[in-house]
Structure formats: C-alpha cells, structure tokens
Structure 1
C-alpha cells in the first residue's frame, strides 16, 4: 500500500485525521470474478447502399487554452468554483472508465472553455483516478473531487484511462448499499446514514482512497474516503469542517437502519472488509433516495 497525505473524514462524534492509502493503483484492478461469456459468431451481410461502407465521421478536436501556471490544484479542501454541474447526477448507469493524470493537467469548465484549476497525478499523496461521465471532441468530463454533483472537462493528453468494473449504489430510504460488478449485483448490506441536518449527499461520487486509522471506533478496519463533501459544511461540527464523506464500518451494528451520522455511510465490518478487498480508487458510488425497482437479492447478514 502507498501511504499518502493527512486527510479529515466525517466521523461519529469527533474529527479524525486520516492517512489515506491506495490498495490498488491505476494499473492494478484487484481480484476479478468475471462470469465467462460465449463469443458471438460473426455474421457478414451486404450493405443496403454504398453509404453503409463509408468511414465513420471523426468529431474534430477542440483546442485547449493553455492554463495559467497560478491556477489552484484540486486537493482535499473544497474544490474551486466555476465548474459545471454533473449532467446526470442521479444516473445509476455504471461509469466504466476512470481518468488518471500522468502529469498535471488543466481542468476546464467546458471543452475549449476556461481553465479553472489543475488535476495532479496524486491527491493527498495517493494516485488520483476520477470517473469519466462524458466524452466530446477528445475531451473527457470527470467527476470533480472535493465537490458534489460537479464535473470538470479535461483536454486530450497527459492522462490514461483505467477500467472500472464495479459500482456502489446507496438507497437512503431503505438503508441499503448494493455492490455491483459488471452491472450484476454481488452483495447488499444494510447501512447507517446521515441525519436530517447532515444528510448523506445525493448523486454520483467516487472512491477517492482508503485509510488505515488503527482506531477501535472503526473496528480496526480501513475506511474509504469519497470524493463527496457535506452539502452544508456549516451543519457539521466545527471540528469536522473540511472533511469528506466516508464509507466505513463501526464498532457495533446498533445503528444500522438509522440516520445518525454526519453524512458518512456505515456498513457491517465483514461488508467493509469485503469491499476493501475488491474496490479500487475511481469506482463510482451513487446515492439515491430509492431505486425504481427493488434491489435484487436479500440483505447480507454480516
């Protein structure tokens, strides 16, 4: 594991300082459990007209304005303003690719638009991978770290893609977290979520990294720090200002099915340890009130 910078996470009652680590970097996908599929037999058909054989139209690339050197670098603090809203924040469609900067890259408000900040290869000392939500003219729109329901546009160059097979979906009304791999449900756990004053933020976010706290309150189990932050920073205790939303376990399961946290998502110890084995940075997590259809499968007991 790679030890990174010091981070703050929303805890139960006190502010905590975290050392974030990365279990699997951009080139490590972790354990895989793919279901074998048969290879379709190719078929050959005659085109209906000559236009069917024409090459696909390539969308012209939009040039990027060179970003000023004095722009801020996105870090664990609140992200700079001026970025656009996520075009589909409540979508539960899996985000299949992440973007990992290989050098400092400009983050823009639109393809060919105004540069607002930089994304660096690491954030708080760990490799940064942000999910791609849209592509246009060679540019990629990614979920912006340290902000809620916000994207940044990144021009071509100085980044590579990371395949993302997993997705986490949290339902606030039913207190359920479902882990999906390749769009198929794997396991579901009961959760503890934020209070009315400090609700778990709705919308798409992602796993930023993990941290080894070495603390009994977290059942001596690593926590995930997410890209999301409290919707109302002033509503959380003053000692937690600047903290991120976390996904973690707790020293007991007494509060499962209740709204008692400062916005974090708690699951069982065995559930958290399973996700720590399987989930890589950049994996998307979407919080909804309730899915249109019931989550498949029963709740996992432990």
Structure 2
C-alpha cells in the first residue's frame, strides 16, 4: 500500500514501522535492511531527501556521505513532516537551530581540525543520546547519518558524525575536533530535548 505524502510545510520523514529493504537505486540492488530501531536503540526515522515515483531517497548511515539509499513508499512507513533544521557554518563556527524558518537557538561550536575536517553536505539526526558518566562527549550527542572522513589511528569511537558536548569547553570556537561538531553542554541538552529524529542537518563552508 502506497501512502500519501503529508501536506504542509517542513521536511518529509519516514518512520520505519516494520523492517524494510534499502536499495542502491529505485528498484536496484539491495544494500541493507532498515529495522524499526537504530544501532543505538532509537526509533528508526529516515530523512527523505528525494521523491521519485513510488520511491524515496533517504539519508542513512549505511551509505557514504552524499549518497542516498532508496526504499519504496509502503505501509511499512509512517510519513510525517518535521519543522526543524540545523545549520552548521564551518567558517563562522556557529550552529543554528531553525524551526519553521525562525531561529530558536544559536551557539558557537568547535569543528574539525585541518587534518580531520568536518564534512560538508546534508545529513540527518538519527539518534538523541544522553551519555552517563564522564566522557569526551559531555552531556550527550545528536548522532547523524554522515561519517567522519579521516579517523585518527588508534581511535576506537567509530566514524559516525555527531553534534555532541565536550569535556574541553576551551575548544569551543576552534577547529579542534576529529570531524564532529562540538557544542557546549547547555546547547546540547537543549538540542537533545527539542530536535526531532529525522531533522535535516546542513553543514556549510
């Protein structure tokens, strides 16, 4: 059963209600199965970037940066829209949350250093994670669908891109991270509380 796209403003997302196959292209080879939960246990909500016939192009961590996965519009999905978007500027080292086009949060961030640059492009929020105990990630993180392109030797934290807190507040405003976007814990706390899964994240020069 093909679902109607919800009308109105905002960005289309698709929550996975039953496991669904991801394809390299509409009707093309299967590349992975999207379950109802992410690897971190969140509801699986996919940001829809393109629509072609009965197929959606979605931003997922199973694909490389800038490459979409495709899945058919079906009753295995719950379609709705989110009003938020996050915009990170690497040159100004600022992160902005906009809701229905209006800014609701602006904060200074740390970005990737020259050897480990933060990748440009459009990504999506896949998880909202509160991290218990003292870690390099501070209060928590918004995990994103993208990947850090250059992982330092010996780094064991995986290559997923994220917006996260920090145990080094002096680094905020600098090009100091290994590719992720670091924000102060107060801003990260607000983002985790307010930003819906599937929210698009635009990283600009």
Q: TM-score range by the shorter chain?
A: 0.7 to 0.9
Deviation at residue 225 of structure 1 after TM alignment? 1.5
Alpha-carbon distance in structure 2 between the residues aligned to 1:95 and 1:230: 27
Residue matched to 1:183: 101
Aligned with residue 158 of structure 2, among 242, 266, 275: 242
- Indicate the residue corresponding to 2:82 in structure 1: 164
Question: Gapped runs of 5+ residues in structure 2?
Answer: 3-8
The structure 1 residue matched to 2:125, chosen from 204, 207, 231, is 207
Deviation string 1:156-197 (CA, Å, 9 cap, x unpaired) is 211111321110000001101010001222221111011111
- How far apart in 1 are the matches of 2:95 and 2:134? 23
Q: Which residue of 1 aligns with 2:189?
A: 273
Matched, 1:145 2:58: no
1:222-241 aligned at under 5 Å gives the runs: 222-232=140-150, 235-240=151-156
C-alpha separation in 2, matches of 1:219 and 1:249 = 5
Structure whose alpha-carbon radius of gyration is higher: 1
Deviation at 1:200, TM superposition (A): 1.0
Corresponding position of 2:28: 113
Say what the alpha-carbon RMSD is for the aligned residues: 2.1
TM-score (norm 2): 0.86
TM superposition shift of 1:218: 5.2
1:257 corresponds to 2:173: yes
More strand by share: 2
Cα distance in 1 for residues equivalent to 2:180 and 2:203? 11
Assess, with a 3 A threshold, how the Cα gap between structure 1 residues 252 and 262 changes in structure 2: closer, same or farther.
closer
Structure 2 vs 1, CA of residues 217 and 237 (structure 1 numbering), >3 Å: closer, same or farther?
same
> Stretches of 4+ moved more than 6 A in 1?
none
Give the TM-score of the pair, scaled to structure 1.
0.60
